[in-house]
Structure 1
Amino acid sequence: MIRLLRELQGRLREAGLPEGEALDLLALAAGLPRKALLLRLAAPPAEGVAEKAFALLKKRLSGYPLQYLLGEVEFFGLPLKVAEGVLVPRPETEGLVELALALPLPPRPRILDVGTGTGAIALALKRHLPEAEVFATEIDPKALALAQENARRLELPVSFLLAPLTGGLSGLDLVVSNPPYLPEGYKEVAPPELRFENPLALYAGEEGLAVARPLAREAAKALKPGGFLLLELAPENVHTLARELQGQGWEAEVLRDLAGRDRYLRARRPPQEAVGQEGALRGPEVP
C-alpha cells in the first residue's frame, strides 16, 4: 500500500493540501485505524481499497472537508462526531477553552456556551471542570442533536437549550462563545471547505459583529457582577467590540492566538453599581 499512499500524497500536494491527509484517506478506504494501517503498509491493498481511496480523494479535492469524510474530529482531547452543515471545531477554539480554564471562577461556576455547534466548548469545559454547571444554547436543531449525541457518548452532563444567544439564563459566572464572526464580504474569497458548513455559523453581517454585539448586550444581563465574557472573533473586528465594551464600563482586553493573531476578547462585567441594580438584570434562573 506504500505506492498507493505515495500517489495520494502527491495528488494532495499538487492541490496545495496537506499530504498527511493521505494516511487518513487510505485508512478510511481500508476500514482501518491509522495505527493499524501503518503496520500493514508493506502489504498490497485489499480488493477495492484503491478505488475507494481515489473516490475519497476526488471528494476531498472538491473542497469537501476531511473532518466530514472521517466523521470525527479531536477537540481538546475529546473525540467529537461531526456532520456536514455543522461547524467543524477549529484549533483556534481550543485556545478559547484554555483561556476559560485560566479564569478565576468560583468553585462551582455556572457556565454558558453560546452557539455550541458540536458541543465542543461546553463538553471540554465540563470535562475539565466537572463541578461546573454547564449550559449550551444553539438555534440549529441539527447541530443541537449532534451536540447532545456527543455529550451522551462522552458521558458529560451538559444542559442543552434550543434557543438564541443566552436563552434567558441568568446568574452566570462565564459566557463563552465562538460565534459567527466573518464579514459577509469574506464569502467572495472563502476557501471551498466553507461551502459545506452552515453559513449561519460563519457569517455575521457587514462587520462580522451582528451576533457578537447582541450577545454582549445579553451577557450584561445574564452574568453576575464581575462575571466573564469570553469570545473568539476575527482579528479584523475583535478590537472594535473590545473598545465598545470598554466604553460601556466593561474591563475588556484582546488576546492573541498561537499564530500571534488578535483573536480572543476577554471581558469582565462591570460591578453592580456600574450597571444598575442586579434585580433589574436577572431573569429566571435554571435550577
Structure 2
Amino acid sequence: MMNCRTVKQLINSFNQELESFYPKEEIRNFTGIILAHLLGFSRTDMLIKTDYELGEADRRFCMDALLKLKQQVPIQYIVGHTLFYGLTFYVDKNVLIPRPETEELVQWIIQDTEFTAPAILDIGTGSGCIPIALKKHMPQAKVTAWDISPKAITLAKRNAKANNVEIDFNLQDVLAPNIEISRKYDIIVSNPPYVRELEKKIMQDNVLKHEPHLALFVKDNDPLLFYRAISKLATQALNANGRLYFEINEALGKQTSHLMRNMGFKEVELGNDIFGKNRMVKGSL
C-alpha cells in the first residue's frame, strides 16, 4: 500500500495509485488541496518542502482520502470545505459543491445592482454560497435564504457564522402551494435544480454518485418546473423595478427567457459564462 511518510512520498504515491482514475493535472490538484488542508502548504511549499514528514494522523487522513478518491468522492467533500468567490465554505454530501459559473452569477448581481441596501432572497441556498457572498460584498443588504433541506440549512448557517455575516435562513419548499410572502424583495436569485434526467449519461461519476440528486435533477418532461414556480412567486414578492436572477441549463436559455417574458418580466437578458455558454438570465418587473 502507499507510502506517505514525507511530502515527496505522498505526491509519488498519489500519482501511482490514481493514474488510472484521473488525469495527472487533477491528481496534482488533489495533492495540493490535501497538503493545504493538512499543513497549510502553498504550491511553492509542495516543491521546496518535499522532505517534510507527515504526522501519524495526517498519514491516516491521506490513506482515507486516497480510498475515497478511487471511489470518485469529490475532493471538496473529503477535506470538508471549498473556496467560492474568495470565501471558504464548508461542504458535505447534503449540499452541492459551489461551481465557478455560480461565482459569475454572484458577480453579475454585484456589478448590476443600483440598490444601496437591497432586500435579497436566495431560493434553494444549499451551502449558502450565493447569499453569503452577496452579503459580504453588499454589507447593507438584508438577505434571506430558503432551502427544502434541514441539513442544508444547518450547514448554510455554519457557513454564515464562519464568514461573519447575518442571513435569515428559512426551511421552505418553493413548490409548496400558497406560500406566504411576508415581505417584498429587490432581488430574488436562484440556482435551482436544472439537470434533465436525459443528461445523466454525460455526467461524471463524482457528481452522479456523491452530490445530492434533489439539488441537481428535474424530470425530462418539465425541466423548467422550478423556474416557473420561482418566476410566479417573484411576480408577487418583488418590489417595483425588482430583479430576478437565475443560473440556468445552458441548453434551455431561450426557453427560460421565453418563460420569464410570458410571466411579465421585462428586459430579460441572457448572460454567458467565461466559455461563452448561456448560464444565467435576469429580468425585471
Please indicate, yes or no, whether the TM-score normalized by the shorter chain is above 0.5: yes
Q: CA separation in 2, counterparts of 1:255 and 1:145? A: 31
Q: CA separation in 1, counterparts of 2:281 and 2:170? A: 24
Please list the CA deviations of residues 126-162 of structure 1 after superposition, one character each: whole Å capped at 9, or x if unmatched.
Answer: 0010111111011100000111111112220111111
What residue identity is the alignment partner of 1:261? K
1:283 maps to none
Give yes or no for contact 2:245–2:282 (8 Å, CA) kept in 1. Answer: yes
Structure 2: 5+ residue runs without aligned partners? 1-6
Q: How do residues 254-269 of structure 1 correspond to structure 2 at under 5 angstroms? A: 254-269=270-285
Shift of 1:27: 5.2
2:166 maps to 157
What residue identity is the alignment partner of 1:200? L
Change in CA separation of 1:9 and 1:25 when aligned onto 2, cut-off 3 Å? farther
2:181 maps to 168
> In terms of mean alpha carbon deviation, does 12-21 or 79-88 score higher?
12-21
Residue 2 in structure 1 maps to residue 2 in structure 2: no
Residue 96 in structure 1 maps to residue 102 in structure 2: no
Does the residue aligned with 1:80 lie in a helix, a strand or coil? strand
Residue 196 in structure 1 maps to residue 210 in structure 2: yes
Q: CA separation in 1, counterparts of 2:140 and 2:52? A: 49
Shift of 1:210: 1.7
1:131 maps to 140
Residue 187 in structure 1 maps to residue 187 in structure 2: no
> In terms of mean alpha carbon deviation, does 16-25 or 104-113 score higher?
16-25
Change in CA separation of 1:129 and 1:49 when aligned onto 2, cut-off 3 Å? closer
2:68 maps to 59
Residue 224 in structure 1 maps to residue 239 in structure 2: yes
Q: CA separation in 2, counterparts of 1:114 and 1:157? A: 17
2:122 maps to 113
Residue 205 in structure 1 maps to residue 211 in structure 2: no
Does the residue aligned with 1:160 lie in a helix, a strand or coil? strand
2:3 maps to none
Residue 33 in structure 1 maps to residue 40 in structure 2: yes
> In terms of mean alpha carbon deviation, does 214-223 or 190-199 score higher?
190-199
Change in CA separation of 1:253 and 1:54 when aligned onto 2, cut-off 3 Å? same
Structure 1: 5+ residue runs without aligned partners? 270-287
- Given candidates 233, 254, 268, the residue that maps to 2:248 is 233
Shift of 1:200: 1.0
Q: CA separation in 1, counterparts of 2:201 and 2:151? A: 26
What residue identity is the alignment partner of 1:34? F
Give yes or no for contact 1:170–1:224 (8 Å, CA) kept in 2. Answer: no
Shift of 1:52: 4.2
What residue identity is the alignment partner of 1:115? G
Residue 85 in structure 1 maps to residue 94 in structure 2: yes
Could you list the runs of 4 or more consecutive aligned residues of structure 1 that deviate by over 6 angstroms after TM superposition?
none
Change in CA separation of 1:14 and 1:245 when aligned onto 2, cut-off 3 Å? same
> In terms of mean alpha carbon deviation, does 222-231 or 103-112 score higher?
103-112
What residue identity is the alignment partner of 2:85? F
Shift of 1:4: 2.8
Shift of 1:109: 0.8
TM-score computed with the length of structure 1 as normaliser:
0.85
Does the residue aligned with 1:34 lie in a helix, a strand or coil? coil
Q: CA separation in 1, counterparts of 2:76 and 2:188? A: 27
Q: CA separation in 2, counterparts of 1:120 and 1:128? A: 12
Change in CA separation of 1:11 and 1:102 when aligned onto 2, cut-off 3 Å? same
Change in CA separation of 1:169 and 1:240 when aligned onto 2, cut-off 3 Å? farther
What residue identity is the alignment partner of 2:249? A
What residue identity is the alignment partner of 2:201? E
